[in-house]
Structure 1
Amino acid sequence: MPDNITNRNLLISGANRGIGKELLEQALSRDAAKVYAAVRAPQSVEPVIDKYGDRVQAIAMDLNLPSSIIDAASKASDVDIVINNAGVMNTVAAYDENAVEALQEEFDVNVYGLMRVAQAFAPALKANGGGFFVQLNSVASIKASGNFATYCASKAASYSITQSLRDWMSQQGTRVISVHPGPTATDMGASAGFGQFATPVSEVAQAILDAINTEEFHAWVGPLAGLVSQHYETFSDRVINGDMQAIRARAFNIDQPQPAS
């Protein structure tokens, strides 16, 4: 397995708590050269900077503010790995009075924010040899549930965008990874009532960094996500990771060009 973390520069959004903070610390323990902690309030990263010194640099970035993302990309121009970890979750059913507003908020961060980050950082990743772009999606990207209707919809959309980003960014040598944790022991998970079913953030962060080394597109994290992936595997292998031109050719009985002998 290659080591894609050692001596690399990472940017992690939402790096001041939860999965993001654990990612930061585990990346440094794996000898990452530097981690940019991209957060809305840079002062919230000061305890981590006190601990690790100049290997951690705080950058102001709000996924709702395109100008802050562009500014962050200009400051982190030497980045090799971008992990878009920040996101929001509302516990809202589709029939709730505030469902439309909740979905708008989640799309602003979970979908439009993802697109803004990818657009802003793609040039830096290309200039630095390609690198990696990692998106924190969710098992909710695949299976919706009633009380998390708007969150599931936003994560399904972000998963779709992540697939498109893989096609686009692969042309410049950037590998895209779509991470799908199950319930996780974060503040967000606690507020959603995940409780005893939540996977520790240490395990999620470890799985994400391992996925960067294995260079697989999907990373399924936790017991629930692992079970879902077993049932999803055939579709994923044949369609999500398949050759769409070949699939289209089979669907419409189009002869494929034969390789030159």
Structure 2
Amino acid sequence: MAERVLLIGVYGMELVECGGALAANVAAGGESFATMMLCRERMQSDVRKAGEVLGVEVDFLGFRNGHVAVDEEHKRAVVRAIRRVRPTIVITQDPEHSLADLDPDRRPAMTLILEALGLASREFALDEGLDPHPVPTVYYMTPSHPNCVVNIAPFWDKKTAAMDVLESQLEFSGRHWSEQLDPKDAEALVPGFAELDSDLARGRAVHRALDRAVHIYHGIGHHGHYAFAEAYRREGDFHLPALVR
């Protein structure tokens, strides 16, 4: 069924991590949106390109790294994004996962997002001229304990192509893994790793291996029905008119 899906992300790569579900919604006739809190200028260009590949409309809140706070200014910005899109479904980071994540800003960002989802439906910031919007269905991405998966096999090529244009992220990952991985382990993960001539090439090669493994695991590798799947955790109970397979 076609939906209005809004991804509320922190850094930017979340767009591709949820790219299969977002692209599937577009293919079903829905509209997919993404709003990012923290995204450096070069990364913004890459994320916009990834959005074009996936059919997702992207905007940026322009928050400052290390300064995300659960205050009125930040609440207004996120509430504004929710009310403008008026989504039926929101995808965002998993509270459990983000609590132990050592990426800066993830913990206050999670509290901010949850506060904004509640405030968007109430009499908060009505002076901005945007009507309240009911709390939508919420799915947490890359959760510690998923309770559902989405078939992304038909959109695997799009998801891979979207990751390929996140060049600033791939370069960062390439440098990181070159420093962190034992050369023999890197070679086992990506045959020919030592011959790759740039951080970009190394990052792209490892991401392809990693992404393929993760999504196969949540798909057919996890006794599932799909070759590739994205894992999610739906907030709250599933309300079904009848039992489904």
Give the TM-score, by structure 2 length.
0.44
Between 1 and 2, higher relative CO (CA 8 Å, sep ≥ 6) is seen in: 2
- As a proportion of its length, which structure holds more helix? 1
Give the TM-score, by structure 1 length.
0.42
